[in-house]
Amino acid sequence: MNSNLRAPAVAGLAFVSALLLGACSSTPEPASQAAPPAPIPPRAYVEKLSADGLFAFGKSSLDDAVGGEALAELDALAAKLVERRPRAVHVIGHSDRIGSDKANLALSTRRAEAVRDRLAARGVQADVFTAVGRGSVEPVVECAGERGEALIACLAPNRRVEVRVGYAE
């Protein structure tokens, strides 16, 4: 064979060999990805607690709590607040429209104070609290055609305590 023809063939063979050897060599594992950062906790949030679970109808004492589940939920909230140390905790009581405006305002205020006192008794720092009642002025449901027990049941979502929590920025 002609030496002029052999040189390109040898060069081509060397090139193909280099490619194949390069492909066969092991490639290093990519550096492991760092774990994603923990999510940033919200600066503020609202916990809505059912007053029907915490208080007997028309009552404001947690001693008359209807459901142990609601008290456990309140205690879990207290534990979270103790751990995270909020800057502000606003406890807002709401009532339904049954009864007078004056009585509903007083009832919602006493319920807000009862929740505040329970949270403080569970270790939440007392200097971050405000507790107010709003009575029936911020309903979530209206229940226009209901009467008697059906009305009481229908208005249950309006009987609530909101705990608004704010953290330092």
Q: Quick one: which H or E segment has residue 112?
A: helix 101-121
Residue 23 or residue 91, greater confidence? 91
Pair of tokens at residue 142:
């209206």
* Residues 39-94 pLDDT 10s: 666 688 888 888 888 888 899 998 866 667 888 999 999 999 999 999 999 999 99
Sequence spans of domains, the chain: 44-166
Q: Is 44-166 a CATH 3.30.1330.60 domain?
A: yes
* Close Cβ partners of 69 (under 8 Å, ≥ 6 residues apart): 53
44-50 β-sheet, strand order: 44-50, 160-166, 88-93, 129-133
* Close Cβ partners of 98 (under 8 Å, ≥ 6 residues apart): 104, 151, 152, 155
Residue 164 has pLDDT above 80, yes or no: yes
In the chain, % of residues over pLDDT 70: 75
* Residues 88-122 pLDDT 10s: 999 999 999 999 999 999 999 999 999 999 999 99
Stated pTM of the model: 0.72
